[in-house]
Structure 1
Amino acid sequence: MTAYSVLVPFVPSRPEQLLPFAGLVHWTGAERLWQGQSLVTETHQAFAHAAGAGFRVPVGLGVTLMPLRHPTEAALQARSLALMTGQPVLAGYGPGAPAVQKALLGAPYRSPLTAAREYLTAVRAALDGTDAVLEGEYLHQEALLPPVPGPRVEIGLGVLRPGMARVAGEVADAAICWLTPARYLADTIVPEVTKSAESADRPAPKVVAMVPIALAAPDRDPVRLALASNRHHLKAAHYQDMLRRGGVELPAATGSQAQDESARGAALVAGDAFLYGEPAELLAKLEAFREAGVDEIVLNVTGVAQLYGAQAASRELRTLLTVLGLAS
């Protein structure tokens, strides 16, 4: 059965801003509270604050940047969060864009796939407290963390394209996808994850889809919402490539930034990479993700938060959860 979760739809500058969204998970049938990488307030600490305020809910990190922390530190942070909340943690990691890798490491990874495979293997070894010494192309790790009983920490990998899907199948507990249309998940990502896991003789990781979404309303422009949610992603070559593979007809650049942005935002909506519509329409579009083999759908109302504010985003999420039968 496909679960539904909630993404914090903005980067909090104060930890208390997280609490209404933690409350949505606490008081409804939502599976988990998710937050991506933040360079304003550290994500692990924000979740720990919510737990201290009484909202001890399952959380997901989707995804944090590998270059920011050594795998031993990543394991320690994730395990600490599980022990503080008393709930399972799904800790997702990704290499980030080449420009981010260069800014933090001095040069991009020669092979992001190799770097990701090594990183997730090292995080799992640290969590398990194994005495293995790992010596890879991108990292060195010796055992430091003792095994500690507590809620399980699952390890996820950010996945956009087939290569990373295969790595997830080999070593991850979850493949975490962002802005990926349902048909692309069905035709490409889920089969690659499954086939790779079978080759590695291990259970297939769950597939998590972060789905940008908004309810239709008379005062709303779906293109503006799509751009408010995904403007920066549309500038990245790897996202453009993924979307085109997924059947989203992104137009070629014309030289006018405003026209190009508008046309690409419209393509997101037309290609169902950004979901917009009345409740019945959205239910049908979300059903396509379930049919594609997605195990957890994360409701992402970032566009609503950007254009209408955090309170409107919280109301939108509650409405969506109610439509899905998870809230009243």
Structure 2
Amino acid sequence: MRVGVLLNERGGADALDKLADDVRRAADDGFSSAWISQIFGVDALTALAVAGRGVPGIELGTAVVPTYPRHPAVMAQQARTAALALEGRLTLGIGLSHKIVIEDMYGYDYGRPLRHMDEYLSVLLPLLSGENASFKGETLQGSIGLSVPNEGRVPVLLAALGPKMLKLAGERAGGTVPWMTGPVTVREHIAPTIRAAAEAAGRAEPRIVCALPTCVTSDPERAREQAAKTFEMYGHLPSYRAMMDREGVDGPADLAVVGDEDAVAARLEELAEAGVTDFVAAGFMPGGDRERTRRFLRSAAAR
């Protein structure tokens, strides 16, 4: 199981300089990948293109960019431009986001998410492979080609949790990038569903890039209390709530990978045995715990 890190969003006029330092440090520390979320701060693809340019030897990914606000041709053009800047080290993670964001904030119809994603991929995937797209569906259409001078295809992962979306990810994408999903859910639901779909479609075994809050500490109770506060909102979003119920936990604090070095190592081993191909650590504690967590993750990445 490869080990990567989720980069924290940076603020201030020098946000991109700080992010560039974070990317370089992640590469120097030996992590296989570094990821950034697309929320309401800097644009993830633009930020990675700027911050990751000239930092070799590390995969850079989005986890994830919402699809609804960007036509798939626009997404493909931006992703291919970012991949060009990063010399082919970009992995494009995309997802539906949530009804509260797409309908209440952006004003788009969130009524047919599976149909939307399936049709979105019908335009996006050919363009990411350097081919022309010609598709007319029920939710979108695209007849276009791009001239960005990439070498090779930009890989795509879906933020897939439900069985139908996991099936789609296995059939058409390179895997899934779940957040707030524990080992029981991966072992019993995500891994078998997506692998069966990929096998039936004659595709390679899919990646399962699992991101979770992580803290190596001597005070796990305090860390879980902080996780409960920091990640509280995810316990109320329907898609994540369904995964927590499937896992049998009360909330995000129960999913956080927390404890001393031995406890966290055991949790990572459990995730690997469940089928996780890439573990992405999201640090959330300050001070000494942050540095202790980083030291542990460096050693885990080197194994």
Q: What TM-score, normalized to structure 1?
A: 0.84
**What does residue range 1-328 of structure 1 map to in structure 2 within 5 Å?**
2-13=1-12, 14-52=15-53, 54-56=54-56, 57-103=58-104, 106-146=107-147, 148-150=149-151, 152-218=153-219, 221-248=222-249, 250=250, 264=251, 268-269=253-254, 273-301=255-283, 303-304=284-285, 308=286, 313=290, 315-324=291-300, 326=302
Counterpart CA distance in 1 for 2:295 and 2:259 is: 13
Structure 2 distance, partners of 1:284, 1:208, is 18
1-structure distance, mates of 2:39, 2:101: 13
CA distance in 1, matches of 2:152, 2:259: 38
Partners in 2 of 1:27 and 1:151 — Cα distance? 26
- Cα distance change of structure 1 residues 121 and 288 upon mapping to structure 2, 3 Å threshold: farther
Question: 1:217, 1:20 → 2: CA distance?
Answer: 28
The whole-number CA distance in structure 2 between the counterparts of 1:11 and 1:210 is: 19
Q: How many residues align?
A: 300
Q: Distance in 2 between matches of 1:219 and 1:179?
A: 18
Once residues 301 and 181 of structure 2 are traced to their aligned partners in structure 1, the CA distance between those partners, rounded to angstroms, is 24
Which deviates the most, 61-70 or 127-136?
127-136
SS for the counterpart of 1:109 is coil
Cross-structure match for 1:254: none
RMSD between aligned residues = 2.3
Number of the residue aligned with 1:253:
none
Map Cα deviations across residues 158-188 of structure 1 (whole Å, 9 max, x no partner): 0222222111111111211101001110100
Q: Distance in 2 between matches of 1:70 and 1:140?
A: 9
Percent sequence identity is 26
* Letter in structure 1 aligned against 2:236: K
Matches of 1:216 and 1:239 in 2, distance apart? 26
CA distance in structure 2 between the partners assigned to 1:317 and 1:139 by the alignment: 44
Structure 1 window deviating more from structure 2 (283-292 vs 12-21): it is 12-21
Q: TM-score, normalised by structure 2?
A: 0.90
SS in structure 2 of the partner of residue 153 of structure 1: coil
- Secondary structure at 1:93 match in 2: strand
Change in 2 beyond 3 A, CA 1:214/1:151 = farther
Tell me the residue number matched to 1:261.
none
- Structure 2 residue matching 1:67: 3-state secondary structure: coil
Shift of 1:286: 0.4
Q: Is there any run of 5+ residues in structure 2 with no aligned partner, and where?
A: none
- SS of the residue aligned with 1:142? strand
| Distance apart, 1:224 and its partner CA | 2.3
Distance 1:12 1:166, change over 3 A: farther
Shift of 1:73: 1.1
Structure 1 pair 120/225, CA: closer, same or farther in 2 (3 Å)?
A: farther
Offset from partner CA, 1:70-115 (integer Å, 9 cap, x none): 1111111111111112142110111111122214653432221121
Q: CA deviation at 1:278?
A: 0.3
Q: CA deviation at 1:38?
A: 3.2
Letter in 1 for 2:122: T
Runs of 4+ in 1 over 4 A off after TM superposition: none
Does the 8 Å CA contact 1:165/1:189 hold for their aligned counterparts? yes
Tell me, yes or no, if the aligned pair for 1:58 and 1:85 is still in contact at 8 Å.
no
Distance 1:12 1:89 in 2: 23
Q: Distance in 2 between matches of 1:171 and 1:3?
A: 23
CA distance in 2, matches of 1:87, 1:107: 32
Q: Distance in 2 between matches of 1:326 and 1:172?
A: 28
